């Protein structure tokens, strides 16, 4: 199948608009109004265990599947990563190589790039673990429509990070193509991925 | 011999009564989630079934594999997942309380070893009536719900 670039972009844009509309009409539970009212995505360069990783490193026909989380999250984050790994595994092979999953830790105080690497490797999905400066992460999360908040706990954990648990699909320009909420089914995640990647009618 | 019998019976009786109290609370399908090597925390899940006529409350837990075990819950508030520590977990008389992903769970903090899938770990539950339940839990990888195939 040959890709027609222009049509691909049109398709992606349409999908983006559609997904955007769905999200803002369907479940507009905008957490405490701290996220951008119309998340558009943003390019980023963050730190991985192998140095800087930038969205612009992706090829034009690749998409990043982004998740904001932290490794001290014992339940929601691993579930989301297993969910992501399964959806990617079930993608047709020629599409699989066009998705780069990225786990952005919003807990840079505890998650060093090395710890992140050990964490993401466990899910065997080729996930890249990245993190950065607090300020930078806060801004980036907002640009994608993610929200998180550090909360001190009366617990041996010290603090937890309350966070949204959505997936974001973005291209190498940092443009948000689709948002998939935490309660998306595996099928929906897969369908959205396939749609976004295959929107290239001859 | 006769002199010894009385205290012996007493101890036996006491053991039985404590055991029967604890038996009123039955634990089913317990498991602990496998986490990446070096991960400091993990969560344990189970079903608590109270066969008794009184409410039972889980007040504490401990395990040799972590420094601390706490009782935690998750709540979804405006799309944001919030994890919080709770003081206790109640199991109503003749009722069931589920410790399951996305909700109530035991939080194992500062793991002393890597929990490999397939192995078993020990957890002790402490109840409000002073009884304890010893559990052996399998370590499991996160389970996925089956999904239909897309060709």
Distances (CA, A) of A187 to A65, A165, B129, B135, B151: 15, 17, 46, 36, 12
Give the residue numbers spanning the domain of B70: 2-140
% of chain B surpassing 90 pLDDT: 64
For residue A74, give the nearest of B84, B107, B110 by CB distance: B107
Q: Flag whether B136 is in a domain.
A: yes
Q: Which of A178-182, A196-200, B138-142 is modeled with the greatest confidence?
A: B138-142
Distance between A159 CA and the closest CA of chain B, angstroms: 10
Distance between B68 CA and the closest CA of chain A, angstroms: 7
Q: For residues A161 and A138, what is the distance between their CA atoms, to the nearest angstrom? A: 12
- Per-residue pLDDT tens digits for A39-97: 999 999 999 999 999 999 999 999 999 999 999 987 888 889 988 998 899 888 888 99
Helix (H, G, I), strand (E, B) or coil at A143: helix
Global confidence as pTM: 0.78
The CATH number assigned to the domain holding A54 equals 3.40.30.10
Q: Flag whether A34 is in a domain.
A: no
- Show residues of chain A in contact with B40, CB under 8 Å: 71-72
Tell me: pLDDT of A31 over 70.
no
Question: ipTM > 0.85?
Answer: no
Q: Flag whether A33 is in a domain.
A: no
Note the pLDDT of residue B146. 40
Q: Flag whether B61 is in a domain.
A: yes
Instruction: List the single residue in A with minimal CA-CA distance to B40.
Output: A72
Q: Flag whether A111 is in a domain.
A: yes
Q: Provide the β-strand partners of residue B52.
A: none
- Per-residue pLDDT tens digits for A138-175: 999 999 999 999 999 999 999 999 999 999 999 999 99
- Per-residue pLDDT tens digits for B84-123: 999 999 999 999 999 999 899 999 999 999 999 999 999 9
Tokens (6 digits) for A1 = 């199948």
Q: Flag whether A35 is in a domain.
A: no
Q: Flag whether B148 is in a domain.
A: no
Q: Flag whether A74 is in a domain.
A: yes
Distance between A78 CA and the closest CA of chain B, angstroms: 7
The CATH number assigned to the domain holding B123 equals 2.60.40.1890
- Show residues of chain B in contact with A27, CB under 8 Å: 79
Note the pLDDT of residue B5. 65
Note the pLDDT of residue A9. 58
Q: For residues A79 and A25, what is the distance between their CA atoms, to the nearest angstrom? A: 26
Q: Flag whether B14 is in a domain.
A: yes
The average pLDDT across A15-32 equals: 45
Phi, psi angle pair for A75, to nearest 5°:
-130, -65
Give the residue numbers spanning the domain of A92: 5-27+41-198
- Per-residue pLDDT tens digits for B4-42: 666 666 665 555 545 545 578 999 999 999 988 878 999
Residue A55 DSSP code: G
């Amino acid at each position: 199948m040959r890709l027609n670039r222009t049509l691909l972009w049109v398709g992606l844009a349409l999908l983006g608009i559609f997904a955007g509309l769905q999200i803002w009409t369907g479940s507009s539970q905008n957490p405490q109004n701290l996220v951008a009212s119309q998340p558009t995505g943003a390019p980023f360069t963050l730190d991985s265990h192998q140095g800087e990783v930038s969205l612009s490193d992706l090829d034009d026909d690749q998409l990043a599947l982004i998740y904001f989380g932290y490794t001290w999250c014992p339940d929601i984050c691993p579930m989301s990563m297993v969910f992501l790994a399964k959806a990617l595994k079930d993608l047709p092979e020629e599409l699989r190589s066009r998705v780069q999953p990225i786990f952005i830790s919003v807990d840079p105080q505890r998650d060093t790039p090395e710890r992140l690497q050990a964490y993401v490797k466990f899910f065997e999905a080729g996930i890249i673990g990245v993190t950065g400066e607090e300020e930078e992460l806060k801004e980036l999360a907002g640009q994608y429509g993610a929200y998180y908040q550090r909360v001190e706990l009366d617990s041996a954990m010290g603090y937890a990070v309350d966070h949204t648990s959505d997936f974001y699909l973005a291209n190498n320009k940092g443009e948000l193509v689709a948002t998939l909420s935490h309660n998306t089914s595996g099928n929906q995640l897969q369908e959205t991925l396939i749609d976004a990647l295959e929107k290239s009618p001859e | 011999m006769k002199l010894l019998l009385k205290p012996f019976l007493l101890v036996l009786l006491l053991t039985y009564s404590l055991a029967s109290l604890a038996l009123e609370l039955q634990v089913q399908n317990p498991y602990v989630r496998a986490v990446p090597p070096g991960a400091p925390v993990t969560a344990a899940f189970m079903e608590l079934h109270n066969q008794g006529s009184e409410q039972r409350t889980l007040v504490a837990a401990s395990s040799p594999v972590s420094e601390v075990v706490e009782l935690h819950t998750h709540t979804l508030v405006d799309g944001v997942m919030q994890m919080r520590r709770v003081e206790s977990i109640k199991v109503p008389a003749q009722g069931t309380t589920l410790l399951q992903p996305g909700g109530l769970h035991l939080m194992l903090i500062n793991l002393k070893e890597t929990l490999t899938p397939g192995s078993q770990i020990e957890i002790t539950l402490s109840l409000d009536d002073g009884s304890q339940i010893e559990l052996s839990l399998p370590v499991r990888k996160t389970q996925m719900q089956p999904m239909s195939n897309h060709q």
